[in-house]
Structure 1
């Protein structure tokens, strides 16, 4: 099961980079190389089509760090699986990895708020709905990960104490 999970996470990391870079390249092409074409295509379909171009540029700025944060999450999970397979689930390194995952997820959540702000502004300007809603799930996951990191830290310390007494 762990071997399959590791392969899945490695595949997802590759997909993260490939899809992320393709999305960034497409947005760059449309929003920076041909913004007038996009605005012309949207002219008459919405108020202020240039706001959609600005929104697309902001999406690109927001997407780039999300790709990096997703990479951090996936690689830390892979490293944790490797520790578990080695028989050391409560290694101190796993506590640090959980904390890294929590910080990366916090970064994604903050970027999601930025995306929401940009989308709401673009929606108001253009009269079109750009699709965003606030969710608590990610914020609860961050809290849970920080708590689990502390539990793992304590478990690693207890395991070290046990090994020293034996």
Structure 2
């Protein structure tokens, strides 16, 4: 392992832990916002002002988007846990194991789910306050999903090759 990759590996663990904490704070904040929205007098007119009166479904739309955000935070938490476990196997010098292939497959499905959630948010926004506007489409997340599935296959193949090699020695 070269110096740059070992430095990146040393930084990865605390960064992932920090992102996990930020994601937890984000999820708790969204949950608090959702609960609080049910106790605000005059929701959504009071916090949103005249904007709410011109878009009568905006309160429900915002609550739906917050729920989607909470689901997204749970998915991100699962991704970060698996990524941390993978970093630990790399630090231990044993990354090409079947568990990492499974972790990558789960991460790929999770990123796909996050992208579907993003499409739901876009659809809700379009229906509630921007009729007819669905926002921009980006190929990058969909390519990332494909790359993660391919990388999962590479790890699975590496794990099989390693098991075969150990069986012949």
User: Normalising by the residue count of structure 2, what TM-score does the alignment of the two structures yield?
Assistant: 0.86
Conserved 8 A contact 2:44-2:52: no
Tell me the CA shift for residue 74 of structure 1.
0.6
2:95 aligned counterpart, secondary structure: coil
Tell me the CA shift for residue 44 of structure 1.
3.3
Q: For 1:5-24, what aligned pairs fall within 5 Å after superposition?
A: 5-24=12-31
State the partner residue of 1:139.
142
For 2:11 and 2:130, the matched residues in 1 are separated by 46
State the partner residue of 2:166.
163
For 1:102 and 1:39, the matched residues in 2 are separated by 40
State the partner residue of 1:26.
33
**In angstroms, what is the RMSD of aligned CA positions?**
2.2
State the partner residue of 1:44.
50
Conserved 8 A contact 1:92-1:152: yes
Conserved 8 A contact 2:86-2:100: yes
Tell me the CA shift for residue 118 of structure 1.
0.1
In structure 1, runs of 5+ residues without a counterpart are none
For 1:44 and 1:8, the matched residues in 2 are separated by 42
State the partner residue of 1:120.
126
Conserved 8 A contact 1:102-1:142: yes
State the partner residue of 1:105.
111
For 2:70 and 2:56, the matched residues in 1 are separated by 22
User: Normalising by the residue count of structure 1, what TM-score does the alignment of the two structures yield?
Assistant: 0.87
Conserved 8 A contact 1:28-1:60: no
Tell me the CA shift for residue 116 of structure 1.
0.8
Instruction: Work out the number of aligned pairs and report it.
Output: 162
